[in-house]
Structure formats: structure tokens, C-alpha cells
């Protein structure tokens, strides 16, 4: 596209993220994620998304929503968080959404009885609870993870409602509404993005496990007998989605749930796992929920949750293949995968479609003769891409600032670009990952960046 040579920078050693601490600090400093209620000392496991975090999160949600609802066989939904309390009896959450909990009478710590090997004793961090001579652990007791509140002014047991621990139930109870209003035939799915709440006993690891989080869930309703085929199909589709967001295949794997790991509703389940600095961890669950949920809602509500298949004149309760990914956890995997330390620079090699800003525009210097063309270029670029402008500090410093927030393309207007310069009407575009620079005519900038974005590949 340009007759000017590409300027390449000397390669430097590239180091990956080794602990969450560096990422937590970058996220706070650059406005991705802040501790919630920080001026009051924070509140356990709650986080606020800042200006760049909210953009990144929206881009991830858009990527998911597009992947789901661009298909003709998936419809969208936005159900309420508070639902009829019988929902949670039917779903099995009142009875079965529990973790075994032990308390230590000495250090007052509270731990999951089934995860003691991953916890630290309050007296000596290197030991697991129960292994120190002074530990005094109670017998395990079951603790329900649902947050309870009351609907209306009376705080009595008749008014208890729950903050939903998964968005899925809003989909199940709307199965018939959606199927009939959208005139869908089985197989078809319903997709939803929304907040979920779990009173986790051991939240932590930044935004990995929190008590308030967002889920992106899709329930795919199929004819019994075709469920395992669809299950395999969705497993592949979902891992491909993570790769389409720039995650490296080598950092992703499946983990199959053994009989003791299966949730109360699941006939078969695979987790998509990502290799975080804390090891391989689940980012998404793909579950064959059989007819468990619709059958239970039919039983508890007294309303039929069946489907009538016109072609065969058969009536049946559909089976459900569920895909369930945490938005916050997906965002964490995207940040971890993109993070690199290369010599002096910290860089987020985000997929351009997810980057909060796609383009940064700089005048080489803050001089009036450069600002006219800079304004023109910025004005044009802004119409096509989410862009930012920076005129303070050296060009090197400005590149570093954009590298750290993952901006893939920086456009600089220098003296050569002016009417009396060596290359009138041109700009240089510097690309984040390889730090190559190319001189381009102003009128080609938008097409150049569009082309680069469309052909971007993770390293």
C-alpha cells in the first residue's frame, strides 16, 4: 500500500505474565479494573470496571453476542435477576447449591472442606488448614451459595427472593414464550448475558472468582437422542470462539467432568480451561443438562414445558445443551494471554477487535503547523474506529502508553507530511506487536487499518 520502506524495530525477549499481581497493578493504573468501594477500604471480591475495562468487557460481550445470535437458530433474551422463589426449588439450587464449609476456631478462618489442600492456614500460610498444631477445625456443614433478600417491605420468610446464581433459569422459564413468539423449531437456542451472584466461600485471584459476576449463557433445545451430537458440536464451537478472540490454542484445553464432579443437573460436562498464572482453570462450561430443568419446571409450576414436533406429531420435553462462560473470567483470560514484558515496554497484544482503542493519533510535536493535519486525520479515523489522541511527552513515551493498554495502531503526523515536507499528505502507522512503521498516504489510512485488523493473528 505504500512505496516507503517498513521500518522494523530490533526484536527483544518477550516474557509472559507470571503472577496476577502485575496485571492487577496495570489494571488499576490504566483504568481497566478498580477495587470496589476503595475509599472505604474495599469490599471482598467486588471489582469495578473503569473506562478501558468497560470497553474491553463490552467488546467481549459483543463478540459473544454476535457469535451466538448471527445464527438463525439462536434467539436473545434478557430475563430479570429476581425470579419467583419456586424457580430455585425446581432448579435444585435451594437444596443442592451448597458447599461444605469448615471454620477454624483458632484463626477464625473459613474454608471449603473439599478444597483444604488449596487453602492456607491462618497461623502459618505455608500449611493447609488443619495441619498446624493449633488448628481447631469444626465439622463440615453445608452452606448455600445463593444470596437471599426480601421482596417488599416485610422481612419474613414468605417474602424471600434470591439473587440468581446463574442466568440459565431465566431462559428455561421462558422456553415457551421465546419458542412461540420467535416461531422457532427445535433444535434452537436462547442466549443471554447478565449478572449472577454467588456467596462464594473462597473468592479471590482478582476477578477470577467473585461474588458478583456476569455470565454469557446459551441453552440449546434439542430432540432427545440428538443431544450428544449437539453437545460435541457446541464443545468445538465454543473453543473456537475463545481462539477467535486471540487466545492461543496451546493455552486452552478441555477437562471432562468425572462422575463426582458433575453438577446435579448434568448428564455430561466439559470445561474449557485456560492456563492462567495460577494454573489450568475453568473459563467455560459446556453441559448436557438433559431434560432435567424443563421437567422440574413442569413439575413445580404445573405448566407444560413440552414441545410438539409438527413433522412427526410427537410431543416431548426437549433436552438442553448449555454453554456457559463467565464474562469476567473470559476478560481475565484475554488479558493474561495478551500480556507481555518486552525489555522496557509492557504490552497487551489484544486482538484488535477487543482492544479498547483501535487507533491512537499523535502530532509529532505540539506545534500549530502539525495540528491542522492531525485534527483532520483524527476526525476521519474516529468515524471508523474507537480512537484516542495524545500530544504529550515524547513519541516513545506515547507508544509505551498505548502499548500498555493494547492499542494496536498509532498514527503519527510529522513534518514530512506537510505540504513543504519530503512526503506531503502522508502519515506513519506504527503497529503494536512487531513495532514496525510504515508511511501511508492519508487517504489510505482507514483502509490500511481495516485490512490489518481483519488479518491480525496472535503470536
- For residue 412, the tally of other CB atoms under 10 A from its CB is 22
167: cell is 442466568
How far the first Cα of the chain sits from its last, in Å, is 23
As measured in angstroms, the least distance from the Cβ of 197 to ligand GAP is 9
As measured in angstroms, the least distance from the Cβ of 79 to ligand GAP is 13
| Residue from 224, 220, 212, 215 nearest 172 by CA | 220
203: cell is 473468592
As measured in angstroms, the least distance from the Cβ of 214 to ligand GAP is 8
| Residue from 448, 433, 457, 435 nearest 8 by CA | 435
Measured CA angle at 279 (ends 28, 12), to 5 deg: 65
Write out the DSSP string of 256-291: EPPTTT--TT-SEEEEEEEEETTEEEEEEEEEEEET
The nearer residue to ligand GAP, 238 or 439, going by C-beta atoms, is 238
Which residue shows C-alpha cell 473453543? 239
As measured in angstroms, the least distance from the Cβ of 145 to ligand GAP is 9
As measured in angstroms, the least distance from the Cβ of 46 to ligand GAP is 11
The nearer residue to ligand GAP, 202 or 380, going by C-beta atoms, is 202
The nearer residue to ligand GAP, 87 or 324, going by C-beta atoms, is 324
Determine contact, residues 362/410, Cβ cutoff 8 Å. yes
As measured in angstroms, the least distance from the Cβ of 383 to ligand GAP is 36
The nearer residue to ligand GAP, 324 or 387, going by C-beta atoms, is 324
Which residue shows C-alpha cell 494496536? 408
The nearer residue to ligand GAP, 217 or 291, going by C-beta atoms, is 217
The nearer residue to ligand GAP, 194 or 326, going by C-beta atoms, is 326
DSSP, collapsed to helix, strand or coil, labels residue 345 as strand
As measured in angstroms, the least distance from the Cβ of 327 to ligand GAP is 8
As measured in angstroms, the least distance from the Cβ of 337 to ligand GAP is 15
Q: How many CA atoms lie within 13 A of 67 on its CB side?
A: 21
If phi > 0 it is left, if psi is from -120 to 50 it is alpha, else beta; for residue 93 that is: alpha
Q: Dihedrals φ, ψ of 310, to 5°? A: -55, -45
As measured in angstroms, the least distance from the Cβ of 71 to ligand GAP is 20
| Residue from 30, 29, 48 nearest 38 by CA | 48
Residues at the contact surface with ligand GAP, assessed by CB under 6 A: 166, 168, 198, 200, 209-210, 213, 215, 217, 282-285, 322, 324-326, 328-329
Q: CB nearest ligand GAP: which residue? A: 326
The nearer residue to ligand GAP, 216 or 429, going by C-beta atoms, is 216
As measured in angstroms, the least distance from the Cβ of 256 to ligand GAP is 14
277: cell is 498464572
Write out the DSSP string of 13-63: -EEE---HHHHHHHHHHTTSEEETTGGGT--TT-EEE-HHHHHHHHHHHHH
C-alpha distances in angstroms, 296 versus 11, 115, 290, 292, 362?
59, 30, 11, 6, 60
Measured CA angle at 280 (ends 197, 98), to 5 deg: 35
As measured in angstroms, the least distance from the Cβ of 209 to ligand GAP is 4
Q: Is the sign of the CA dihedral 406, 411, 415, 421 positive or negative?
A: positive
Amino acid at each position: 500500500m505504500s512505496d516507503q520502506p517498513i521500518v522494523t524495530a530490533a526484536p527483544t525477549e518477550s516474557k509472559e505474565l507470571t503472577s496476577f499481581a502485575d496485571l492487577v497493578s496495570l489494571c488499576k493504573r490504566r483504568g481497566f479494573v478498580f477495587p470496589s468501594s476503595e475509599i472505604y477500604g474495599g469490599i471482598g471480591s467486588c471489582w469495578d470496571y473503569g473506562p478501558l475495562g468497560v470497553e474491553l468487557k463490552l467488546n467481549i460481550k459483543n463478540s459473544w453476542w454476535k457469535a451466538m445470535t448471527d445464527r438463525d437458530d439462536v434467539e436473545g433474551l434478557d430475563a430479570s435477576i429476581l425470579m419467583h422463589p419456586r424457580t430455585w426449588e425446581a432448579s435444585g439450587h435451594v437444596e443442592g447449591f451448597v458447599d461444605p464449609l469448615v471454620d477454624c476456631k483458632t484463626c477464625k478462618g473459613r474454608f471449603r472442606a473439599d478444597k483444604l489442600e488449596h487453602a492456607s492456614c491462618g497461623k502459618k500460610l505455608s500449611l493447609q488448614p488443619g495441619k498446624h498444631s493449633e488448628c481447631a477445625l469444626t465439622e463440615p456443614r453445608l452452606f448455600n451459595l445463593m444470596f437471599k433478600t426480601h421482596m417488599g417491605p416485610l422481612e419474613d420468610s414468605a417474602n424471600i427472593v434470591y439473587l440468581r446464581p446463574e442466568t440459565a433459569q431465566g431462559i428455561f422459564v421462558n422456553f415457551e414464550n421465546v419458542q412461540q413468539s420467535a416461531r422457532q423449531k427445535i433444535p434452537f437456542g436462547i442466549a443471554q448475558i447478565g449478572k449472577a451472584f454467588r456467596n462464594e466461600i473462597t473468592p479471590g485471584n482478582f476477578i477470577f472468582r467473585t461474588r458478583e459476576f456476569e455470565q454469557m449463557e446459551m441453552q440449546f433445545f434439542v430432540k432427545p437422542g440428538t443431544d450428544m451430537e449437539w453437545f460435541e458440536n457446541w464443545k468445538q464451537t465454543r473453543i473456537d470462539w475463545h481462539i477467535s478472540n486471540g487466545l492461543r490454542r496451546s493455552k486452552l484445553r478441555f477437562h471432562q467432568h468425572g462422575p463426582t464432579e458433575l453438577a446435579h443437573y448434568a448428564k455430561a460436562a466439559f470445561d474449557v480451561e485456560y492456563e492462567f498464572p495460577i494454573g489450568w482453570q475453568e473459563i467455560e462450561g459446556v453441559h448436557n443438562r438433559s431434560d432435567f430443568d424443563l421437567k422440574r419446571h413442569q413439575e413445580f409450576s404445573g405448566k407444560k414445558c413440552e414441545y410438539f414436533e409438527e413433522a412427526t406429531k410427537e410431543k416431548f420435553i426437549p433436552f438442553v445443551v448449555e454453554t456457559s462462560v463467565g464474562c469476567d473470567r473470559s476478560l481475565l483470560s484475554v488479558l493474561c494471554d495478551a500480556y507481555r514484558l518486552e525489555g522496557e515496554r509492557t504490552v497487551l497484544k489484544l486482538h484488535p477487535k477487543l482492544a479498547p482503542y483501535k487507533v491512537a493519533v499523535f502530532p509529532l510535536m505540539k506545534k500549530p503547523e502539525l495540528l491542522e493535519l492531525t485534527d483532520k486525520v483524527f476526525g476521519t479515523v474516529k468515524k471508523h474506529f474507537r480512537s484516542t489522541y495524545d500530544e504529550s511527552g515524547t513519541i516513545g513515551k506515547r507508544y509505551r502508553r498505548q502499548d500498555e493498554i493494547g492499542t494496536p495502531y498509532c498514527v503519527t503526523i510529522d513534518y514530512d507530511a506537510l505540504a513543504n515536507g519530503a512526503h506531503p499528505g502522508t502519515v506513519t502507522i506504527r503497529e503494536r506487536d512487531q513495532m514496525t512503521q510504515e508511511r501511508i498516504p492519508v487517504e489510505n489510512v482507514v483502509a490500511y487499518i481495516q485490512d490489518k485488523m481483519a488479518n491480525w493473528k496472535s503470536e
